[in-house]
Amino acid sequence: MSGMSSRFALAVLLLGFASLAVAVDKFEPLPDATQQQRYLGLTHELRCVQCQNETIADSPVEVAADLRREVREAIQAGKTDTEIRDGLVSRYGEFILFKPRWSARNALLWLAPGLMLLVGLVVGFNIVRRRAQLLPVDDSVVEEEERT
Amino acid sequence: MSRVNRFLLPLGGFALLVLLLVVGLKQAPDKGIIVSPLVGKPAPALVLPTLMDPSVTIDAAQRYKGQWYLLNVWGTWCVECRYEHPALLELQKTAGIPILGMDWRDDEATAQQWLKELGNPYDQVVSDKEGRVALAWGVYGAPETYLINPEGVIVTKRVGSMTPAIWEKQFLPLMEQRK
């Protein structure tokens, strides 16, 4: 196959994926660009309550469409992002947020990666230091053996 | 580091990990179910047209003022609701409290036909065509059933089919506490 036609085939293939990607959200973009930006941001960080591992921006189910409408209308009504998140959390619980909030209950969740890294560093440092002590400082014995 | 520590420390760490996982598993027997933050809170407004006659509007807070009632969210597109239906008909006879049906995002004619064929367990049925009231109540899938007390507070919520066993275990004790 020539480079040209295979490149064309690839383009067609990729275009097919593009149509899949835009099919979900059927709303017209908000007229105000900043508002549309906020809308996209919020819908990509809220969890669809029915198909629980998708964002409401990606989910094709009707509840997700209702949630998108809710976010849209709240933005147009002049609510802040925080107010919109709070409103949804009061009905669906913190579960609806993909990004957990900073709270006493969630502290471990947020700190765990840092803590694990720290523990790993300490353990690694200790191992390296101990190994360094095991190395013979004087390797004349080795040299002796090599000569024979 | 002593020889004993070299074995005890990793072993202790492993034991802690096992403990953490066991506790996590025990505490989340059904982690797909979202615990509704609305339980224990005043029920959101529910003012909707009835399924049978859209010109008639029902305000749940007003209609069931001072009494217990169940709110059952269903739809003809919901397969599980069909399995649930006989249990609702049973509850209509035995529960002793009215069931308000909320037909969610549905076609009215199909829903009316459904009730004609399968029987109508509801005191009243309202239609939430746009799903706005369902969102306010934190509904995320049908069927769902809420128990509301005489003060208008949501006492408990069942996600999934109502069954006689669920009614007796989860709902009835909450009503009897008050008597």
d(CA A105, CA A107): 6
The dihedral built from the CA positions of residue B47, B51, B53 and B55, taken in this order, carries a sign that is positive
Residue B18 identity (one-letter amino acid): V
Is this model's pTM higher than 0.80 or not? no
Interchain pair A91, B135: CB under 8 A: yes
Tokens describing residue A41 = 């941001």
Nearest CB to A49 within list B132, B137, B140: B140
Q: Considering only A24-28, A126-130, B32-36, B40-44, which range has the smallest mean pLDDT?
A: B32-36
Interchain pair A63, B38: CB under 8 A: no
Interchain pair A70, B135: CB under 8 A: yes
Rounded percentage of chain B residues whose pLDDT exceeds 70: 93
User: Do residues B131 and B104 touch, judged by C-beta distance below 8 A?
Assistant: yes
d(CA B74, CA B24): 32
Residue A92: is it exposed, middle or buried by C-beta count within 10 angstroms (0-12/13-18/19+)? buried
Nearest CA-CA distance, residue B18 and chain A, Å: 17
Tokens describing residue B79 = 């397969």
- Closest CA relative to residue B156, chosen from B141, B143, B140, B175: B175
Cβ contacts of B35 on chain A, cutoff 8 Å: 93
Residue-wise pLDDT for A4-13, tens only, equals 677 777 766 6
Residue in chain A lying closest to B129 (CA): A66
d(CA B90, CA B163): 9
Residue A1 is predicted with a pLDDT of: 46
